[in-house]
Amino acid sequence: MTIFINFLRSLLLTIIFSFAAPMFLVGSGLLLLSLIGHFPGLQELTEAIATEIMHFLATFGSGTPLRGLFVISLTCTFVGALFDMYVYYKYQILRIDS
């Protein structure tokens, strides 16, 4: 029973971190761009990069960048959960063989 509890705990942590990682990455990238935009001569460049990031996110979100970020985060969550289940399965197989 403890193996199943450990699996669920691992799966839940994987889901949370896999969902938060793309949001943190995009958010910190946009924050960094806005901070760099305060330097003279770099404002137009950082605005152009931020606009392209928003267009990229809007592509996945049917025109809404925030929805696109959620779609990408949910996809990463699904892939992370599948990977965690695969690792659990391989661990069980290796444990039985040895």
Contact 21, 68 (CB under 8 A): no
How many residues are there in the chain? 98
pLDDT at 76 over 90: yes
Q: What percent of the chain has pLDDT over 90?
A: 84
Q: pTM for the whole thing?
A: 0.87
Q: What percent of the chain has pLDDT over 70?
A: 99
pLDDT at 98 over 70: no
Contact 10, 84 (CB under 8 A): yes
